[in-house]
Amino acid sequence: MTTPSTFELYAYWRTSATYRVRVALNLKGLTAHERIVDIDAGEQRDENFLKINPLGAIPALVESGHAPLTQSLAILEFLDEYQPAPPLLPQDLHGRARVRSIAAMLAADTHPLITGRVKKYLTTAAGMDDTAWRAWQIQWFGTGLAALEQRLAAEPQTGVFCHGDTPTMADICLASIVEMVRIFKITIPDIPTIDRIMEACDTHPAFIAAKPSRQAGAPA
């Protein structure tokens, strides 16, 4: 295993996907030198960064001597294998599938609908104004979280966290979406199970340290 000091994380203070990687690094006790990619200034389209991720998206995790890793869920899986303790996935087959399913509901089905790339297209090519864009955000944040609430409230595997009583990849993805909801000052009603789980995340040191408001470049 290489030393954690060889990691570089291409990041930005407020992105949901970068937040996920920060939480995972914190849970694992790993560190990464951050290289800020200002997506508000369009730095993700710089030719040098496109050599790292041709999609022009962050985060990217780079380990010395290896190809860059992109896509937050793949990075979380990598970190879980790189540093197995504490685990981000349960030990049992069905538990791992459940956690991955919840994570995908959030990171693959909900988050992509409210990214900057989507906003840029909808507000230019599709002609959405700010009011329509906010309605779009509320619609898809609300749809995703309501569906997850239904699962978490009904399934017996739900504990203090999404799966049992220790944080997993599912909680990292849940918190990453809720943090964006907070940044955009959106209120999603009738999600008591999610609200309870978020209370546990909000008091966990790994999640606190990863909060967007605590990162370099965040508004004072």
pTM (2 d.p.): 0.95
Looking at residue 163, its pLDDT comes to 98
pLDDT, one tens digit per residue, over 148-175 is 999 999 999 999 999 999 999 999 999 9
Below-50 pLDDT ranges, the chain: 1-4
Looking at residue 2, its pLDDT comes to 42
Reply yes or no on domain 93-210 having CATH 3.90.1280.10. no
Tally the C-alpha atoms within 13 A of residue 186's C-alpha that lie toward its C-beta. 20
Looking at residue 220, its pLDDT comes to 80
Which CATH code is given to the segment(s) 8-85?
3.40.30.10
Looking at residue 177, its pLDDT comes to 98
What are the structural domain ranges in the chain? 8-85, 93-210
Looking at residue 4, its pLDDT comes to 47
pLDDT, one tens digit per residue, over 39-63 is 999 999 999 999 999 999 999 999 9
